[in-house]
Amino acid sequence: MQFVADILLVAGALGAGIYCFLIARRLAQFNDLESGVGQAVALLSMQVDDLTSTLSEVRDAASSTAESISGLTDRAELAAKRLELLLASMHDLTEDAEEPRESQSDTSEPVFLRHANGKD
């Protein structure tokens, strides 16, 4: 009986050893960098590195663009203020320029004007 138990124990150990050998081969194929999941993991790792560098470049570009737009907005506000002042000064000039025309129209020949509404 002892002999049969030893034979079964040796057979079980050999079976476990063969099973471990097969599992080790499959795991090596699974983690192979050429064709297995290892290749996919390596590829994804490279893509993550590329995306990280691209993201930092885009952040830098966006911050410089924001600074540029801020500067342009400030310049546009200053130009708008100048235009408002020029428009106000032009309004004063047109009032001054209209007064001499009225005095000149009194001394010149009569001008006939047609009414805009079509009467008379």
Helices H / strands E in the chain, number of each:
2, 0
How do the domains of the chain map onto residue ranges? Answer: 1-30, 37-97
Cα separation of 71 and 51, whole Å? 30
**Residue 36 burial class via C-beta count within 10 angstroms: exposed 0-12, middle 13-18, buried 19 and up:** middle
CB distance 28 to 22 below 8 Å:
no
The Cα 117–Cα 79 span in angstroms is: 41
Taking the C-alpha atoms of residue 79 and residue 72, their distance in angstroms, rounded to an integer, is 10
**Residue pLDDT tens, the chain, 120 long:** 899 999 999 999 999 999 999 999 988 887 776 777 777 888 899 999 999 999 999 999 999 999 999 999 999 999 999 999 988 888 777 665 555 555 555 556 777 667 666 554
pLDDT for 102 equals 52
Report the distance separating Cα 86 and Cα 96, nearest Å: 15
pLDDT number for residue 97: 55
The predicted-structure confidence for 12-22, as pLDDT tens digits, reads as follows 999 999 999 99
How many residues belong to the chain? Answer: 120
Which pair of structure tokens corresponds to residue 42?
């390596």
Q: Could you say which DSSP state residue 33 is in?
A: T
Write down the pTM of the prediction.
0.43
pLDDT at 40: 82
> Helix or strand or coil: residue 109?
coil
